[in-house]
């Protein structure tokens, strides 16, 4: 654990009765207590903290079904402009993941959660009222920034409010939450809009989806105003009295053996600290995690995001059939998320990393053979198996568990931000290039490329991957 020693000595000198060793023991004691607790209240706090997963899932599912409507609003858009407008949210999320993760470590988890939602509300409503695709893209970039920064912050809460074993189960099941939100958005938002307008290509659909997202974000903002700051982050900064009050509030434990003082012992780091996580001792963790994240993002936003578009526009199965097929696929993703939460503590992150990437590669390869003859049931089937294995693989959940396990509270936000940066970078590239590749080399050849990338990533995971069940950082390797 890094502690600014000179600052610690100066602050302790002004607090009679406490030595440097007392403060260090107090911080370790807080870590020990929090990481050993099983309590109901933290789950409520975490549920509110990761509510941006709902917004991400909602936007992904609802807007992916409204891409044809968006295209019809301004039919003069080129493929490049259309791709840029679709990718704009991912551009913002890429920047938000990186700088938001760093700010998360600098100004606190809770402050970021509040600021992110304020920005999301304003930008979602602005995007829904945009007069042209250029204005729309600007609003969506800023909205994406809020979303990228927020998801990184939410994962910090999971790893700083739950004990070690519960982390794996809860973070392993976040895809169940994500795909459950997808199904909710389709059934309760998109279906009613479809039945009201009798079309998925009416321009009002995507505008309504944007405004509804802003309203949902406002509700989340109201709930977030009532959750506390991360205890481990507070303790790491030296504010032991504040950390004790939060522990009393959340867990009902009164830590009499911890000094009742708030100190400033953690040096506020500059922007260069954004790159401190890249060190030789972590090269295997970073390589396996970031490559897995990037590959998963490439496949998901090239194939998974455009599946409704492939069914509706390329396979021409009709709006209602596309809605039903998309719902079935995402229900399978929800079930896979529940299964993954069960499997992570039993099989480990490394094994699921390899199984997931092999499974998505095989699924995309199989889909490439049934697309040309337009065998719709098999297209839907392989899109479903693709999603199931994607959920189990590195971009589904394993990389997020791995990176948050590999770093402690002092760098967790920054490390998680880098991981999400690579996920969103892949989303930017894929969202933009997929329409261009579909029209130039065709969907089949695109799938062949994606499958090859997945197989290569499986090999990297097998060689360099690690099992989060057996991993402890120095900051959190405290006997319980």
pLDDT, average across residues 175-190: 86
Per-residue pLDDT tens over the stretch 295-312: 999 998 888 877 877 777
The candidate with the shortest Cα–Cα distance to 399, out of 386, 414, 418, is 418
What is the full DSSP assignment across 226-270? Answer: TSPPPHHHHHHTTBHHHHHHHHHHHH----TTS---B---SPPP-
Please tell me which of 66-70, 108-112, 124-128, 167-171 the model is most confident about, judged by mean pLDDT.
124-128
% of the chain surpassing 90 pLDDT: 28
- pLDDT surpasses 70 at 17: no
Nearest to 237, CA basis, from 108, 150, 112: 108
What per-residue confidence (pLDDT) applies to 448? 93
In the predicted model, is pLDDT for residue 107 greater than 60? yes
CA torsion through residues 380, 376, 443, 91, sign? negative
Residue 293: pLDDT band by 50, 70, 90 thresholds?
very high
Determine the Cα–Cα distance for residues 90 and 80; give it in Å rounded to an integer: 15
User: Whose structure tokens read 């090239």?
Assistant: 302
Cα–Cα–Cα angle for 420, 68, 335, rounded to 5 degrees: 50
Q: How much is the pLDDT for 479?
A: 44
Mean model confidence pLDDT for the chain: 84
Residues 232-251: pLDDT tens digits?
A: 888 888 889 999 998 888 88
| Sign of the alpha-carbon torsion through 464, 465, 470, 471 | positive
Residue 171: its pLDDT value, please?
67
> What is the phi/psi pair of residue 239, to 5°?
-90, 75
Closest among 470, 453, 143 to 293, alpha carbons compared: 453
Mean pLDDT over residues 275-281, rounded? 88
Average pLDDT over every residue of 443-467: 92
Is pLDDT above 80 for 315? no
> Which residues, at least 6 apart from 371, have a Cβ–Cβ distance to it below 8 Å?
310, 314, 315, 379, 443, 444, 447
pLDDT tens readout for residues 371-395: 887 888 898 899 999 999 999 888 7
Average pLDDT over every residue of 211-226:
94
Q: How many CB atoms lie within 10 A of CB 477?
A: 10
262-284: average pLDDT: 78
Q: What is the pLDDT, as a whole number, of residue 15? A: 55
Which residue shows structure tokens 């401190």? Answer: 276
Contact 366, 358 (CB under 8 A): no
Q: Where are the domains of the chain?
A: 20-268+277-470
Give me the residue label for tokens 């949210």.
Answer: 89
- pTM over 0.85? The answer is no
What mean pLDDT do residues 397-409 have? Answer: 79
DSSP state of 174: H
Look up tokens 């455009």; give the residue.
306
Assign 464 a pLDDT band (cuts: 50, 70, 90). Answer: very high
| CB neighbour class for 186 (10 Å; exposed up to 12, middle 13-18, buried from 19) | buried
Q: What angle do CA 344, 348, 353 make, to 5 degrees?
A: 90
Q: How far is CA 51 from CA 112, 194, 425, in A?
A: 13, 26, 22
Q: Is 303 buried (19+), middle (13-18) or exposed (0-12) by CB count in 10 A?
A: buried
What pLDDT score does 364 carry? 95
Angstrom distance (rounded) from CA 14 to CA 293: 47
DSSP string, 379-435: HHHHHHHHHHHHHHSIIIIIHHHHHHHHS-TTTHHHHHHHHHHHHHHHHHHHHHHHH
Q: What's the CATH number for 20-268+277-470? A: 1.20.1250.20
pLDDT digits (tens, 9 = 90+) for 330-370: 899 889 988 888 888 888 889 999 999 999 999 999 999 98
């Amino acid at each position: 654990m890094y502690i600014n020693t000179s600052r610690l000595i100066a602050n302790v000198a002004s607090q009679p009765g406490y030595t440097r060793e007392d403060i260090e023991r107090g911080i370790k004691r807080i870590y020990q207590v929090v990481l050993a607790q099983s309590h109901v209240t933290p789950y409520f706090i975490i549920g509110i903290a990761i509510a941006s997963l709902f917004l991400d899932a909602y936007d992904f599912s609802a807007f992916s079904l409204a891409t044809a409507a968006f295209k019809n609003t301004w039919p003069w858009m080129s493929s490049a402009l259309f791709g840029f407008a679709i990718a704009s949210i991912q551009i913002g999320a890429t920047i938000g993941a990186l700088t938001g993760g760093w700010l998360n470590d600098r100004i606190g988890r809770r402050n970021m959660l509040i600021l992110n939602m304020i920005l999301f509300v304003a930008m979602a409503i602005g995007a829904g009222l945009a007069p042209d695709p250029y204005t729309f893209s600007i609003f969506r970039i800023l909205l994406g920034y809020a979303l990228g920064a927020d998801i990184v912050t939410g994962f910090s809460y999971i790893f700083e409010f739950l004990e070690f074993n519960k982390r794996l189960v809860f973070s392993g099941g976040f895809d169940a939450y994500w795909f459950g939100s997808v199904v909710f958005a389709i059934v309760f938002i998109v279906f009613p809009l479809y039945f009201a307008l009798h079309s998925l290509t009416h321009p009002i659909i995507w505008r309504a989806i944007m405004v509804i997202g802003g309203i949902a974000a406002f509700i989340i903002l109201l709930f977030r105003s009532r959750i506390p700051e991360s205890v481990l982050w507070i303790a790491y900064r030296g504010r032991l009295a504040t950390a004790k009050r939060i522990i009393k509030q959340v867990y009902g434990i009164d830590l009499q053996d911890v000094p009742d003082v708030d100190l400033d012992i953690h040096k506020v780091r500059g922007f260069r600290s954004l790159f401190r996580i890249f060190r030789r001792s972590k090269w295997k963790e970073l390589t396996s995690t970031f490559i897995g994240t990037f590959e998963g993002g490439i496949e998901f936003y090239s194939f998974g995001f455009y599946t409704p578009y492939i069914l509706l526009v390329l396979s021409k199965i009709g709006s209602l059939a596309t809605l039903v097929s998309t719902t079935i696929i995402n229900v399978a993703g929800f079930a896979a998320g529940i299964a993954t939460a069960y499997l992570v503590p039993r099989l480990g992150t490394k094994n699921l990393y390899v199984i997931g990437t092999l499974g998505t590669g095989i699924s995309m390869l199989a889909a490439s053979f049934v697309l040309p003859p337009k065998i719709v049931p098999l297209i839907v089937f392989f899109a479903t198996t693709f999603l199931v294995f994607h959920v189990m693989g590195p971009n589904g959940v394993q990389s997020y568990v791995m990176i948050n396990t590999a770093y402690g509270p002092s760098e967790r936000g920054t490390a998680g931000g880098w991981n999400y940066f690579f996920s969103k970078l892949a989303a930017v590239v894929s969202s933009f290039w997929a329409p261009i590749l579909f029209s130039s080399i065709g969907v089949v050849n695109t799938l062949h490329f994606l499958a090859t990338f997945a197989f290569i990533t499986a090999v990297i995971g097998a060689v360099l991957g690690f099992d989060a069940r057996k991993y402890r950082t120095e900051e959190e390797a405290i006997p319980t």
